[in-house]
A and B are shown apart, each in its own frame.
Chain A
Amino acid sequence: MSFPWAKQYEPTNGLTKFLDEKLPVPRLVYNAVGAGYPVPRNLSYFWNFGVLAGFFLMLQIVTGVVLAMHYAANASVAFATTEHIMRDINWGWLMRYAHANGASFFFIVVYIHIFRGFFYSSYKAPREMIWLLGVVIFLLMMATAFMGYVLPWGQMSFWGAKVITGLFGAIPLVGEPIQVWLLGGFAPDNAALNRFFSLHFLLPFVIMGVVIMHIWALHIPGSSNPTGVEVKSESDTVPFHPYYTAKDGFGLGVILLLFFAMVFFLPNYLGHPDNYIEANPLSTPAHIVPEWYFWPFYAILRAFTFDFILPAKLWGVLGMFAAILMWFFLPWLDKSPVRSGHYRPLFRKFFWFGLIPAMAVLFYCGGAPAEEPFVMLSQIATAYYFLHFLVIIPIVSQVEKPEPLPYSITEAVLGSDKKAVLGENTEPAV
């Protein structure tokens, strides 16, 4: 679907006419990210991050395919082939650093994308399906990133794999058989490394498939916007190309500056020194920490320390998974008639002074050693995190009185909308 004023693709020469008849890929591109896709004219830079996430997915696939040409998924040589890539392969160091830091940037970009969705309630009708697919992408990303971190077969790779698969051991009765089945052994070894490599190679393509559905679903209602007011007329929109291709191009340049600064000057800053020690099943690192993008969820896992009816370990595992899975229900928990946080005074306060500080604390504590005061801080933040999504949002969205919305996007941008004065359904704006 698209808006009735969307520009129509017109093949101009013989080749595009032929293609349009036989395999209308140019038309698809034109309508998806070209001039044929009308987009609200008032998007802020927060709306750049979807395209940026797509860019980093492609970057990870390209560098990942290159690395797979030189890597060997065998516990006896995996660490050595990684060093071989770093030392002997032409530009191998660049490929590996770009891939490792690319994963981090993918997560940075996706976290900003998700928090954009939280603040502007982008998950609300009619965009529930986009949101559900997005949560699926995020889960797949986490699985892919976790398995990718195992591949260099350093100390953190090994012990990360051991700890995370050990979580399944918390499930009553079937836990331990599942853990042994997942690893294909009693501890991470060749079998686990090989299947992780296979899945790490496969899952990005699954992600790409879900991303295509995510974009497809987006094109049915069209993009949301900072006012949360739906598009009413042509004057509310601009064609994606050239307006947003240009804006995304600039955004990509900025993020690439940061990315290359990390890759070339601080390539190991986001990594852990212990992963440059070859995996040793007989010696545990002083602090086992996952990569930074798992820290909030790792903090939630460790926040449950008291056996309340169920064992604390099981609470931790349930809490960690629930922390993400509950996002699936968000579209139906938030009953507010208004989307944008800009017009929801109470919701906005909870977002800025509740959720954001709680996430900051969880991020910090997840990377810190399991000592006081970090455990106690993460316990409070964990409690708030669950209250925010499952209690505060349903109640606040019911009770708060939203601020008055602009009549239309045009009015929000220009200060007035002729149709607002003339009444709806008059002549479309020029």
Chain B
Amino acid sequence: MKSKDRNYFKILRAGINTTYQDLGRNNLYHIGIPFSGAMDKRNFQLLNSLLQNDYNSPVIEFAYQGPHLKYFGKDIFFCISGNVSFKIITKEGVIDGNSYQCYLLKNGDEVDIHSTNKSVYGYFSINGTFSVDYYWGSCSINTQAQIGPNNGNKFSKDLEIEIIDINNSFNKRKLDYLGSTIENIRVIKGTNYDYFSESSQNKFFKESFKITKLSDRMGMRLQGPKIENIVDPNIKSEGLVKGVIQITSAGDPIIMLSDHGTIGGYPKIATVISADYDRLVQLTPGSNIKFKDVSLEDAETLYKLYQMETNNLIFQIK
């Protein structure tokens, strides 16, 4: 391909943990490969809807500090979802951008994604398709197992992000949305709930836990009152799912997130409900959270309501 026919971004600064993500890969737990995929599925869905892309199109996920990208090619639109501060640098000057709003980029323009505000993950995409390779039906990068495009590694400086397809019939759209936050994380009691002393069970639901810096796409480590195990600090290793809260031998909770190890041997005290997962992963280290116990039936209803809310937001895109 001649260079003048190319449409691509050059990464001037990669950011802290910038990867391609989509909805992730299914039915591979039995060989040790987790779902992966966008951590915050609502913001993933909103972004592809705003850009009129296919619902499972690849997007660029970033955490805390995002990438600084320079664009080369014919006119294109981009959009960012999440609670994100970014600047658009053009020949006319520099402007502050707003999330959930589409912007035009011309050859030589730059997007500098400074940070996510009071949140962890943000998403960037275009009215088109990034050129990515698929591994087991997904382009999600799992850096732990080195699976995915870019040899399974996060983005680095000078990487060139190729675009294979631009939707020319695209019209600029936007959504008025401030995001949704949460303080209480709702959970269902786990299969080893009775491994813990009654006073620890009470503490688990009454006291708050701090999210530590040891948190990433694999898991979130919490600090708070020690949870006392009165049966056995280990179980025979068995399958995990995202949202499971294990208690380590030291008595601290650890929540499994999208890139988690597929089996584990710590007892499970509870599991975060599906309706609260997107908002859980957006909580920054240092935040305090409280767990609230809900029934399975309520969790199923709450998930339906959460999905309806997402669909309403998609409907409001204009």
| A and B from one complex | no
Q: Which residues of A contact B (CB under 8 A)?
A: none
Q: Which residues of B contact A (CB under 8 A)?
A: none
